[in-house]
Amino acid sequence: MRQSKLFSKTERTPPKDEAARNAELLVRGGFIYKNSAGIYSYLPLGLRVIRNLSAIIREEMDAVGGQEVLMSALHDKKYLTASGRWDVDVVYKATAGGEREPHFNLSWTHEEIMSEVAARYVSSYQDLPFAAYQIQTKFRHEPRAKSGLIRGREFLMKDLYSFHATEEDLRAYYAKVGDAYRRIFERCGLHAIYTLAAGGDFTAGNTHEFQVIAPIGEDTIFVCGSCEYAENEEVSKLAEGDSCPTKCGGVIRREKAVEVGNIFPLGTKYAEAFNLKFTDRDSSQKFVVMGSYGIGVSRLMGVIVEMFNDEAGIRWPAAAAPFRAHLLALGGGAGDEAARKHADAVYEYLQRSGIEVLYDDRDASAGQKFADADLIGIPWRIVASPKLGDGAVEVKARDTKEAKTVSLKELIVEIKEHSKV
Amino acid sequence: MRQSKLFSKTERTPPKDEAARNAELLVRGGFIYKNSAGIYSYLPLGLRVIRNLSAIIREEMDAVGGQEVLMSALHDKKYLTASGRWDVDVVYKATAGGEREPHFNLSWTHEEIMSEVAARYVSSYQDLPFAAYQIQTKFRHEPRAKSGLIRGREFLMKDLYSFHATEEDLRAYYAKVGDAYRRIFERCGLHAIYTLAAGGDFTAGNTHEFQVIAPIGEDTIFVCGSCEYAENEEVSKLAEGDSCPTKCGGVIRREKAVEVGNIFPLGTKYAEAFNLKFTDRDSSQKFVVMGSYGIGVSRLMGVIVEMFNDEAGIRWPAAAAPFRAHLLALGGGAGDEAARKHADAVYEYLQRSGIEVLYDDRDASAGQKFADADLIGIPWRIVASPKLGDGAVEVKARDTKEAKTVSLKELIVEIKEHSKV
């Protein structure tokens, strides 16, 4: 894409109303627009990142047999009353046309809706197990919405729900989804720690979170420096310096961490609320056993930016980056038609080679182009200039200091070799 | 996909609470689930249709230079106050955490949000023109929500907004988007008529709608039987039997029609509300001229079903169909391992040939499988049975009566030949 056509623009000065580094950089880079506290719109560059993350998540959800759906955002009071979750502080309620009493809440999670749908289709053990997921907008009235994309009032979430005949089957699937989550975070360049956590609003028993150690994190975890066994402070009796309870010989550290995913064994709580039963092999009627599994997709984007940035801007991991390469046309000012043609030719060559490229064809100074490239943070920066000689460009990875001059052919090999996701 | 794994199921009996044919068939086929009046969830088959329609729309929007974004659903009161649209009857308002007064409305259209975003980035004539679009969820408190996906309280919409330095530039782009809309509807198998319409809430001047003649339509249009010049009753002085005002020699008919798209020249209304100005070549400050352009994606799905069905079920046009082919394994009951293996081999062959196929591998009767295939309405029905001989299958198009026996090779050619979109 030609940067001169991109309607968003980079900004030199940090926004005054953003405390979090992820929001600062994403706003300055033109990835997102802040509509209100905790409420953002995704501009073209930002939506490309969301798409990339969503594609990874979809692949891994499909691989564990998840069937994609898209559930409604307006949830009728009757569903929330059935589960006893109509009056929850963080939930928005919707009214219209002079109604005095709200009839709907806004989706903050979908256990109720999904249980209701499942009750329509499940009647026999032969209908189980199955799992359905969506990537959909959630709403939560967060009292503090100061962490950019990490704690939004409106945010994108992938939520998966699984339905089983037995607790054992749920446990086996739960472990499988845990593995899928590990792969997702790894592909996004994040090291996420599997952490024992409290039941929260969803279930009485223990659950698990995937935590990324980061200063912006609002959670505190106790984690073994050796085997990475971890517990959330909320449920932990560990203390810093303790020996690891797995007896691996490691020592427990206390860390700030941000949750990027969570998995909940729900048992039969929602099945009971929605009369979600099946006839088992022995003709007995049983409640379906459920699990639910979440990843905040927009939060994931925020965490990636928190983990991958330097003083000059973002350093996107390849899998998340809005483009694979950022081509800068230098010496191509209004008076230099030859330089512009030269850069145009490189742009077309890259596109033909299957490289998604943002092409900085703007009439701007070299200094501004370099600064913007660092801010936007695309993994490969390519400089096209007639001075480099025929068929040659300068290439620099965002996370290295030194640039080198290579032929176009070498460039393609280099990019493809180093961008495998 | 194996139908035995699909968690949704077909239903013999029409739902009691659906008056519209599209909703009846889509619910019975397991495409959608009705959560409340006018509020539906998309199940795996339904989401596949939405995806196909969205892909067509994206292609055509990208082709007219639209940049995809995703704007927030919660709209701060300050934006709606600026445009004078805070108190609109059909708008839902959101409150949370014991607030007495709502601070947000729920997205029903995005002129305000998009104008605010544009005001951040537009300063010079060089920043114009540009256009941004999204496919996003909209909410409207429709008093009557009885037309299934055609009039939803929660629905998916593609909305495009364009920004111009001059009225002439807007007019040229408006015509270009009109052409893109024609292509979109045509690719979806619909014949949409370009119809002069009232300004509605958006603009004082005239606008245009794309109307599909259908008994379920809530609009009435006067349309020339010859050149298809058309006017919405709301703005028309024509009457049935009149001569066409274009002097083409045709005669005006009166028809019920359903709107599938609309395009609005907005002028400077929102630019004035959001102080969206630019410095022109002559250094003068001017307001940006805007247009907005909508297509209801979920409505489009409903209209397609209204137009393409028979007593047995849906007849999807190829471009919208959830799968390209529906493979039925016959004679493959629990006791017939050979028949099942035979059908499995056909399934794998089709997948290897790049045909997206729903594979009815259920332990069900031939009659039930045929009936479900007609209800779900995938364009090609393929029967695999050892009785047909080695490497042969029976194929029938959904919209023809006669089936024929062909080799697998001929089948692939036939499907690919006739499914070009």
Distance CA A48, CA B325 (A): 32
Where do we find the tokens 């998540």? Answer: A57
Hey, is A403 helix, strand or coil? coil
Hey, is A409 helix, strand or coil? helix
Specify the pLDDT at position A364.
93
User: Are domains B21-310 and B325-418 of this chain identical in fold?
Assistant: no
Phi, psi of A238 (to 5 degrees): -75, 165
Is residue A390 pLDDT above 90, yes or no? no
Nearest-by-CA chain B residue for A153: B74
Compute the average pLDDT of residues A201-220: 84
Nearest-by-CA chain A residue for B362: A126
* DSSP track, A352-366: HTT--EEEE-SS--H
For the stretch B57-113, pLDDT in tens is: 999 999 999 999 999 999 999 999 999 999 888 999 999 877 888 999 999 999 999
User: In chain A, where are the structural domains located?
Assistant: 21-310, 325-418
Specify the pLDDT at position B125.
98
In angstroms, what separates the C-alpha of B27 from chain A's closest C-alpha? 11
Is A68–B41 a contact, with Cβ atoms under 8 angstroms apart? no
In angstroms, what separates the C-alpha of B252 from chain A's closest C-alpha? 38
Specify the pLDDT at position A336.
82
Specify the pLDDT at position B335.
62
Contacting residues for B59 by C-beta, under 8 A, at least 6 apart = none
Do residues B42 and B137 touch, judged by C-beta distance below 8 A?
Answer: no
For the stretch A229-240, pLDDT in tens is: 999 999 999 999
Distance CA A153, CA A148 (A): 10
Chain A residues whose beta carbon lies within 8 Å of the beta carbon of residue B65: 5
Closest CB to A33 among B6, B117, B163: B117
Size of interface A-B (CB pairs under 8 A): 163
**CATH architecture label of B21-310:** 2-Layer Sandwich (3.30)
Q: Give the CATH class of A325-418.
A: alpha beta
Higher pLDDT, B334 or A43: A43
Question: Whole-prediction pTM value?
Answer: 0.97
Pairing assessment for the beta strands A230-232 and A193-197 based on DSSP bridges:
parallel
Do residues A74 and A92 touch, judged by C-beta distance below 8 A?
Answer: no
In angstroms, what separates the C-alpha of A324 from chain B's closest C-alpha? 18
Is A93–B97 a contact, with Cβ atoms under 8 angstroms apart? no
For the stretch A316-339, pLDDT in tens is: 999 999 999 999 999 755 568 888
Chain B residues whose beta carbon lies within 8 Å of the beta carbon of residue A35: 71-72, 74-76, 79, 113, 116
For the stretch A247-281, pLDDT in tens is: 999 999 999 999 999 999 999 999 999 999 999 99
Specify the pLDDT at position B206.
81
For the stretch A7-42, pLDDT in tens is: 999 999 999 999 999 999 999 999 999 999 999 999
Chain B residues whose beta carbon lies within 8 Å of the beta carbon of residue A43: 69, 117
Is residue A202 pLDDT above 80, yes or no? no
Ranges of residues in chain B with a pLDDT under 50 are: 202, 421
Chain B residues whose beta carbon lies within 8 Å of the beta carbon of residue A117: 33, 41, 43
The greatest distance separating any two alpha carbons of chain B, rounded to the nearest whole angstrom, comes to 84
Chain B residues whose beta carbon lies within 8 Å of the beta carbon of residue A41: 69-72, 113, 117
Band of the pLDDT at A167, cuts 50, 70, 90?
A: very high
Chain A residues whose beta carbon lies within 8 Å of the beta carbon of residue B91: 96
A161 close to B (CB below 8 A): no
Distance CA B235, CA B19 (A): 29
Distance CA A326, CA A359 (A): 6
Contacting residues for B399 by C-beta, under 8 A, at least 6 apart = B315, B379
Closest CB to A92 among B33, B94, B113: B94
Residue type, B304: I
Distance CA A414, CA B3 (A): 44
Task: For B18-87, list the strands marked E by DSSP.
Answer: 32-36, 39-42, 66-68, 74-76
Find the angle CA(A10)-CA(B171)-CA(B191) to the nearest 5 degrees: 105
Specify the pLDDT at position B417.
82
DSSP classification of residue A39: E
Specify the pLDDT at position A204.
54
Give contacts of A 95-154 with B, CB under 8 A: 95-98, 102, 104, 106, 113, 116-118, 120-122, 127, 130, 132, 137, 139, 141, 143, 153-154
Is residue A361 pLDDT above 60, yes or no? yes
Q: Is the ipTM of this complex over 0.90?
A: yes
Residue type, A36: S
Specify the pLDDT at position A421.
46
